[in-house]
């Protein structure tokens, strides 16, 4: 694998990840603020932002060589190739499981702590949450998202602690599947 191929893969993965994150997370949360007072200006704003997001990520996914050449990412290295050594499919899957499990923990621990704080504050406080806290954290305790973040933390921890077993299970031979079927 050459350095240019490596940077192509990294930029495309980042583009796809950022596109999914934008369309599935940031756009719906932004729409929830705009929808109560929707008008022609808001519709044009939503359409413009959506087009801008799509153009940015199409540029990241389709024009990776131009980005690599513009930023000179493949220049200045002693060797043009990347030697992965003895990285087989099992080691790559294990590495991906560690990354995914770590990302799940990093994504959901802050949400879980926030929902825990709100539940604790609501139970301890005689008046519940004050006006500033309602504006900052939300008006009520969201038990669904609190439980969802807790489940994702558990799944992320299990992925990190059992990545070897999960990796072996994911890369098992098709011969063993034929015997069980």
pLDDT confidence of residue 181: 40
pLDDT per position in the chain (181 positions), as tens? 677 777 777 777 677 667 766 766 666 666 666 666 777 787 787 788 888 888 888 888 788 888 888 888 878 777 777 776 776 667 777 887 788 888 888 888 988 988 888 888 777 665 555 666 655 555 566 777 788 888 889 888 998 899 889 888 877 764 444 454 4
Q: Are 67 and 148 in contact (CB under 8 A)?
A: no
Of residues 84, 76, 62, 71, the one with CA closest to residue 1: 84
pLDDT confidence of residue 92: 73
- With the C-alpha atoms ordered 98, 104, 107, 113, is the resulting torsion angle positive or negative? negative
Whole-model pTM: value is 0.51
pLDDT confidence of residue 177: 46
Burial of residue 104, with CB atoms counted within 10 A of its CB: 0-12 exposed, 13-18 middle, 19 or more buried: buried
The CA distance from 48 to 114, in Å, is 32
């Amino acid at each position: 694998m050459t350095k240019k191929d490596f940077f192509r893969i990294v930029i495309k993965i980042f583009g796809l990840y950022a596109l999914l994150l934008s369309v599935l997370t940031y756009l719906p949360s932004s729409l929830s603020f705009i929808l109560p007072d929707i008008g022609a200006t808001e519709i044009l704003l939503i359409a413009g932002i959506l087009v801008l997001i799509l153009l940015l990520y199409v540029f990241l996914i389709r024009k990776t060589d131009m980005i690599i050449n513009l930023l000179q990412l493949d220049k200045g290295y002693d060797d043009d190739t990347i030697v992965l050594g003895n990285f087989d499919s099992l080691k790559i899957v294990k590495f991906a499981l560690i990354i995914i499990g770590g990302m799940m923990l990093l994504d959901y621990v802050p949400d879980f702590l926030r929902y825990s704080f709100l539940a604790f504050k609501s139970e301890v406080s005689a008046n519940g949450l004050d006006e500033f806290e309602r504006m900052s954290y939300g008006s009520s305790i969201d038990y669904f998202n609190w439980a969802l973040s807790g489940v994702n933390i558990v799944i992320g921890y299990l992925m990190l602690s059992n990545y070897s077993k999960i990796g072996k299970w994911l890369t098992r031979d098709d011969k063993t599947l034929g015997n069980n079927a």
